[in-house]
C-alpha cells in the first residue's frame, strides 16, 4: 500500500499510512432518503457529483438513521421573506431573535428518548459522539444542555447517517419546519426525526441540489447558521402557533418558556463543551431574521473554512489543504479516511491568523481513487469545517 507524505511550509515531514483524507460518503443514505418528492424533484445547480447537496423534506428519516424518531417536524412552515438572498445562502448567527421557531410550553425533541436509544447501542453511541467531537461517556450530559427548536428557514448542514459502524456524512439542506436540537452557541447539532448528528456544512461554489426538492425550494432562500462567540443563555423563538417572540432558556424542555414581556426564572448551566457564558443582552423582539453585523474585532468569532487545490486532481498530483478562520495559534484535530474506509487522525498547529496550508502528494497507480474529505475541528470550542477533493486515476 502506498504511503502519503505530508509536508508543512517549514519542510517538516510526516508519513501517514495509506492515502490521506476522510471518506466523503455522498452515496451513503442519511435523513431524508425515503421522503416522497414534492412538486419539483429536478436537481438544481451546475452538475458535478463532488458538490452534491441532498434536499431533506420534513418528516423524513431515511434508510440509515441513528435512532427512531425523537421529535416531530412541523409542516407548512414558510421561510420569512427577509431570509431570501440574491446570491445564494445567507449566514445568520444562532442567537438572532426569530431565527428559530417553536411552540410555547412544548418541546419538539425528546432528550431522554435520544439518550436512551443511544445507550442501547454502544456502537451507534460511539459513532454519534465522534461526529460531534464529544466523549461517548458524556452523551447524556451533552444532550441535557441542548435546546429543542424548529427551523424557520431551509438550512444547510452536514448530516450524518449510520452505516458500517460509523457516521456517514452527507451534505444536505433541511426544509423549514424540521425539528432540531441546537447547542449553546445556537448551531443545529441533531435532527430529531432520526437522531442524526449535524455539523457545519461544506460550502460549495456550484452546489447541485438533488433528491425530493419541495415546492417553493430555492437556493436563494437557504440559510447557514453561524455559531455565536458566547453561550446563549436564553433563545428568543418565534411562536409558530400565535406569532410573536417567546423565550426559552438553554437546555430546557419547554416547561420554562416565557411569554413576551415575562421574566426568565430559570438560568441553566452552560453545556459541557462551552466556556463560562457571559450575561446575555436581550435583543429586540422580531419574528423575522435579518443579517447580523460582524462581531467586534476585539472578540473575533471562529468562522472556519477549508479547501483543497487542485480539485479535482489525479494520482501523482500534489494537493494543498488550506485551513482558515479558526482561533489563532490553536491546535486543530483532522480526521482523515480513504474512500475504502481506512481512517486516520492527527493534530495540526495553526498560525497567528488561525490558518495553515499543508501540501500532500498522492503517488502511485495503486493509490485509492475517489472523493476524499478532511474534517477539521477545534476541540476547545467545537468549531468545525470540512473540505472534499476528487482524486481521479492518473
Cite the DSSP H helix spans in 132-232.
139-144
What confidence score (pLDDT) does residue 48 get? 35
For residue 20, the model assigns a pLDDT of 30
Q: Quick one: pLDDT band at residue 363, thresholds 50, 70, 90?
A: low
- 122, β-bridge pairs: none
Chosen CATH of 4-23+302-392 out of 2.60.40.1930, 2.70.150.10, 3.30.1490.20, 3.40.50.620: 2.60.40.1930
Domain ranges of the chain: 4-23+302-392, 44-249
pLDDT digits (tens, 9 = 90+) for 273-292: 433 333 333 444 444 444 44
Does residue 27 contact residue 184 with C-beta atoms inside 8 Å? no
pLDDT at 272 exceeding the cut of 50: no
**Cα torsion 355, 129, 251, 277: sign:** negative
- pLDDT of 167 reads 94
- Mean pLDDT to the nearest integer, 359-367: 60
Buried b (16+ CB within 10 A) or exposed e, 12-46: eeeebebbbbbbbbbebbbbbbebeeeeeeebeee
The predicted model gives 148-153 an average pLDDT of 96
- Quick one: pLDDT at residue 291? 43
pLDDT at 258 over 60: yes
What pTM was estimated for this model as a whole? 0.59
Using CB atoms within 10 A of its CB, is residue 303 exposed (0-12), middle (13-18) or buried (19+)?
A: middle
Residue 27 has pLDDT above 60, yes or no: no
Mean pLDDT over the full length of the chain: 76
Q: How far apart are CA 357 and CA 12, in angstroms?
A: 13
**pLDDT single digits (tens) 9-20:** 322 222 223 333
Average pLDDT of the residues in 245-260 = 92
Question: What pLDDT was estimated at residue 342?
Answer: 66
* Res 137 pLDDT > 80: yes
The answer to whether the CB of 170 falls within 8 A of the CB of 161 is yes
Amino acid at each position: 500500500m502506498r504511503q502519503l507524505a505530508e509536508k508543512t511550509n517549514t519542510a517538516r515531514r510526516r508519513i501517514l499510512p495509506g492515502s490521506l483524507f476522510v471518506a466523503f460518503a455522498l452515496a451513503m443514505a442519511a435523513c431524508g432518503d425515503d421522503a416522497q418528492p414534492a412538486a419539483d424533484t429536478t436537481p438544481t445547480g451546475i452538475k458535478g457529483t463532488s458538490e452534491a447537496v441532498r434536499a431533506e423534506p420534513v418528516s423524513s428519516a431515511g434508510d440509515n438513521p441513528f435512532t427512531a424518531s425523537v421529535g416531530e417536524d412541523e409542516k407548512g412552515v414558510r421561510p420569512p421573506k427577509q431570509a431570501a438572498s440574491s446570491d445564494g445562502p445567507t449566514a445568520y448567527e444562532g442567537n438572532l431573535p426569530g431565527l428559530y421557531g417553536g411552540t410555547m410550553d412544548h418541546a419538539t425533541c425528546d432528550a431522554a428518548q435520544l439518550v436512551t436509544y443511544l445507550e442501547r447501542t454502544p456502537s451507534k453511541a460511539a459513532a454519534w459522539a465522534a461526529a460531534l467531537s464529544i466523549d461517548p461517556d458524556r452523551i447524556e450530559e451533552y444532550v441535557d444542555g441542548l435546546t429543542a427548536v424548529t427551523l424557520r428557514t431551509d438550512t444547510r448542514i452536514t448530516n450524518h447517517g449510520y452505516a458500517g459502524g460509523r457516521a456517514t456524512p452527507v451534505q444536505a439542506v433541511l426544509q423549514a419546519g424540521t425539528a432540531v436540537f441546537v447547542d449553546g452557541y445556537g448551531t443545529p447539532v441533531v435532527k430529531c426525526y432520526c437522531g442524526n448528528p449535524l455539523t457545519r456544512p461544506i460550502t460549495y461554489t456550484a452546489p447541485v441540489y438533488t433528491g425530493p426538492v419541495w415546492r417553493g425550494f430555492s437556493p436563494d432562500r437557504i440559510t447557514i447558521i453561524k455559531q455565536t462567540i458566547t453561550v446563549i443563555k436564553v433563545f428568543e423563538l418565534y411562536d409558530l402557533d400565535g406569532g410573536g417572540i417567546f423565550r426559552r432558556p438553554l437546555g430546557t424542555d419547554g416547561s420554562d418558556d416565557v411569554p413576551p414581556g415575562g421574566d426568565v426564572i430559570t438560568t441553566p448551566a452552560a453545556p459541557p463543551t462551552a466556556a463560562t457564558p457571559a450575561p446575555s443582552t436581550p435583543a429586540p423582539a422580531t419574528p423575522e431574521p435579518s443579517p447580523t453585523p460582524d462581531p467586534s474585532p476585539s472578540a473575533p468569532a471562529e468562522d472556519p473554512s477549508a479547501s483543497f487545490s487542485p480539485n479535482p486532481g489525479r494520482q501523482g498530483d500534489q494537493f494543498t489543504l488550506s485551513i482558515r478562520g479558526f482561533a489563532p495559534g490553536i491546535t486543530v484535530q483532522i480526521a482523515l479516511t480513504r474512500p475504502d474506509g481506512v481512517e486516520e487522525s492527527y493534530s495540526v498547529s495553526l498560525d497567528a491568523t488561525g490558518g495553515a496550508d499543508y501540501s500532500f502528494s498522492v503517488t502511485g497507480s495503486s493509490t485509492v481513487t475517489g472523493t476524499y474529505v478532511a474534517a477539521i475541528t477545534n476541540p476547545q470550542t467545537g468549531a468545525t469545517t470540512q473540505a472534499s477533493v476528487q482524486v481521479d486515476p492518473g
